[in-house]
Chains A and B, each alone.
Chain A
Amino acid sequence: MIYQVISQYNYIAAVILFFIGLYTMISRKNLIKKIIGLNIMDTSVFLFFISMGSVEGGKAPIIVLGSENVIYVNPLPQALILTAIVVAVSVTAFALALTVKLYGDYGTLDADKIRELREEPG
């Protein structure tokens, strides 16, 4: 039982990373740290997908003549994750661009201070 759990350490790492990321996003006030949290959370999902497709001792799925009885890893999750990485990069880029604008407007990166400044009249 314990061996089974430990042998799946990649999934455990994915879960731990997911919660680190989600906690960082929720608890930190600094916008940059929130974005870092978002990235950690995204990375955990990538790790989860790659683990899902991997086979112990599996090779990259390139079929060469004469290579029979070779175990391949499932390439589909990897293809999906390439797309998901592109999506995550664009979201991060846009979030960072917004942060630059927010810093220019308010002179701070603290989410609470930005809210206070915004609610001040005038």
Chain B
Amino acid sequence: MILSSHFPVLIVVAPLFAAYLMPLCWRWKRGLTKPIAVTALTLSFLMALNMAFQVLRSGPISYHAGNWQPPWGIEIYVDYLSVYMALVVTGVGLLILIYSTKYSDKMIEKGNIAIFFALILLLIAGLTGMVVTGDLFNLFVFLEIASLASYALVPIAGSKGTKGRFEASFRYLYMGAIASTFTLIAIGFAYMATGTLNMADLALRLVEAREAYPTLVLMSLGFFVVGFSLKSALFPLHLWLPDAYAHAPAPVSALSSGLTIKVMAYVIIRLFYSIFGIAFVSSTGLLSMIQIIAALAIIIGSLYAIAQKDVIRILAYSSVSQIGYVILGATLLSSDGFTGGLLHILHHSIMKGTMILAVGAVMYKTGKRNIQDFKGMGRRMPYTMGAFSIAALSMVGIPPLTGFVSKWFLLLGTLEAKSYAFTFVILASSLLNAVYYLRLINYIHFKDPDEGSVRVDEAPMTMLIPIVILGLGAIFVGMMANIPLTLISKAVSSLGL
């Protein structure tokens, strides 16, 4: 009982502490490294589950770090939306980590394995911190922990990686550093206008500050939006993403696509709804601009994906398109649309996680990932490719699969908001998704493998189980959408829609 009151901070501390143990363990008792990593993240996931029940039973939890009262001390504030995001991050993160324990043996240079796990844990700790914190500067610190870890994870495969890995990492760092600086400036403007960094306090004081210092508040909002659009790879600021995915090891791409860019989108939602106030954001005209950008992201991301030959790049451009759904849903100003956007965070991380991990399993076996090399893979790796195909169909939005449910809510949202252009965008994008995903399924299941291609069998068990669990998730999470919806509907109503 006493311990459970500290869960809001322990959920971040567990992976953070384990991250620093990784290199030590690697020197001392090599066999312990991976079990410790998995245990730490399992603990985090269980704590997130426990907090979800606590929040559902007795409302949002406010934790004061070091017993300093807010607004002076750092407050950790876990509400419905935070705990939902924490569950997604730790849950999907745990499955990806289990997958990596086997993947790293063959695909990561031996000397880098300890650092690889340390960085994955740091990334997840940073992301969890970002979703639970109630302090703006604390958010920046966790953002930098997560960002630095993800820059360093791109070239981690060492001599077993691709040739362009350092360049991809440098480009990612270059874009990310600009985004971080913008975020810091935005925090500066917000502090100048209000004199506080606590999110709840900030929201209260911004009401007055909007009258007193309108320029400062607008500047702050502008810098925040540009910074986090860059970080969440919202079109046209997505240029770092395809290269970073193509050169990173598969679990890293899965983490980045499934979790990192989603948490960045969460921050945009948090800024709009909890801090600046959605009515104010809407009155500046920014909201309708972002709606159009998100719609463009949905269409253009899909168009780019159709033109790619490398399967990882297809999935990367598809992520650019899918982040558009989340942002569009959050900015439609309709409760159904918002529900759809939030559901899509969970659904997309399950579906994209399945697909990237399945492609990773093929790379593990054959070392290839061109669309031509996937010919006839369905017969050689039936379970992996079965999960991949289910996730792909789900992404297209075939009912009753998972992707259909969030798209349905988004469609209802566009109708409720009377934005019929966006209804058309979502329907058209499903068609575009079908073009490239059905082409992949056609290659995988209905074409004969080339003569003389490598004969391979199913992926090892440790990698197969996370893929199959996520693949089953792509079927059943949508059917049981009422479970995440208990949290999401409360989150939506508590944020004022």
> Interface of A with B (CB < 8 Å)?
18, 22, 25, 31, 34, 38, 41-42, 45, 48-49, 52, 76-77, 80, 83-84, 87, 90-91, 94-95, 98-99, 101-102, 105, 114-115, 118
Contacts and interface: CB of A to CB of B under 8 A. Distances in A.
Contacts, number: 70
A91 B167 contact: no
B148 interface: yes
Interface in B146-187: 148, 151-152, 155, 163-164, 166-167, 169-170, 173-174, 177-178, 180-181, 184-185, 187
Given A45-B184, A87-B144, A95-B173, A114 B137 contact: no
Interface residues of B, number: 27
Contacts of B174: 25, 34, 38, 95
A118 B164 contact: yes
A45 B181 CA distance: 7
Contacts of B169: 98
A101 B165 CA distance: 10
Contact of A98 (B163, B166, B178, B181): B166
Nearest 6 A-B pairs (CB), nearest first?
A: A87-B144, A101-B166, A118-B164, A98-B170, A102-B166, A45-B184
B170 A31 contact: yes
Nearest to A83: B141
B148 A94 contact: yes
Contact of A42 (B137, B141, B163, B181): B181
Given A80-B137, A95-B170, A99-B170, A22 B188 contact: no
A101 B148 CA distance: 17
A52 B170 contact: no
A8 to B, nearest CB: 13
Contacts of B152: 94
A114 B185 contact: no
Given A42-B181, A52-B188, A115 B141 contact: no
B350 to A, nearest CB: 31
Contacts of B181: 38, 41-42, 45
A52 B192 contact: yes
Given A34-B174, A52-B192, A102 B185 contact: no
